[in-house]
Amino acid sequence: MNERLLIDECLSPELVSVARAAGYEATCSRDRGLLGLYDWDLVKFVVSEDFTLVTSNAKDFRGQERGRCGGLYAQVEIHAGLICLTPCHGMALTLQKELFGYALAALVELPDLINRVLEVFEGEGGVVTIVSYELPASSI
């Protein structure tokens, strides 16, 4: 469990305590003075500080389509990982905590998130799916 998690401003800072209770080092954009930072500058920060970004803004960071190379992380040669919480509709705090709980449970099963995305998304009817894929995609 090496991930250092940075909770994006689009999610509740309360997720920091959820992550810490699960044994992760965690902080949030608010507590780091990063509110209002452009996404490309946020990526520079998380990469330079070796954070795994936790966000619900999946399209900007992972690209328009799940599992396909795109977005800001596709332009980074190596990163500590990206966790996307993707709701079907709005994201109340209870849903944020639920989806984040799924992500934290899935992290335990993975050796690491280096150059990977872990995406937890809620489909119609509340069905939750968890996928993990490389980003940027391997050229091998």
CB atoms within 10 A of CB 99: 25
Where is pLDDT greater, at 55 or 89? Answer: 55
pLDDT at residue 140, as a whole number: 39
Which residue has better confidence, 76 or 16? 16
Sorted by where each begins, the domain ranges of the chain are 4-134
Tell me how far apart the alpha carbons of residues 95 and 115 are, in angstroms, rounded to a whole number: 26
Instruction: Dump pLDDT digits (tens) for 1-45.
Output: 568 999 999 999 999 999 999 999 999 999 999 999 999 999 999
Q: Tens digit of pLDDT for each residue in 87-123?
A: 877 889 999 999 999 999 999 999 999 999 999 999 8
| Gap between the Cα atoms of 116 and 96, Å rounded | 21
Strands 82-86, 128-134: pairing kind: unpaired
